[in-house]
Amino acid sequence: MDSDNENITGNERLRGRGAQIHARNRFLKHEIVTEHIEGLDEPFLTNSKTEVFIENPRKLVNKMTSPDVGMMSSANPYQGCEHGCIYCYARNTHNYYGFSAGLDFERKIIVKPNAAVLLRKHF
């Protein structure tokens, strides 16, 4: 078992989820680890239901500079996705919110209710 991730053991899989681990977030200074369970006060992470978080950003359209994406810009009314595609380019954006690019990307969805207004303002 990788000490940086909460892995699923044996044949147990999280149904309906593409990721099966909590990927380590490089932006967090402190995180819960499970390799020393004798000192763990918090309960183990489980396959909880999807949570929705609200964010009201100042802009919606983002310039894409990555050569492997093939788009000039993107506009996402939400961040995170229950589809669970493991190849999604947007997974790493969850790290900036303190979430993992693994399971958190699929069950912690950040919704931007002002997306339509921001899109109209951009054009």
CB-based contacts of 57, cutoff 8 Å, min separation 6:
112, 114, 118
Q: Which structural domain, as residue segments, surrounds residue 56? A: 1-123
Model confidence over 3-50: pLDDT tens digits? 444 444 545 666 666 666 666 677 776 665 556 556 555 555 565 788
Model confidence over 37-50: pLDDT tens digits? 565 555 555 657 88
- Parallel/antiparallel/unpaired status of strands 108-111 and 78-79: antiparallel
Domain count, the chain: 1
Model confidence over 100-115: pLDDT tens digits? 888 888 889 999 999 9
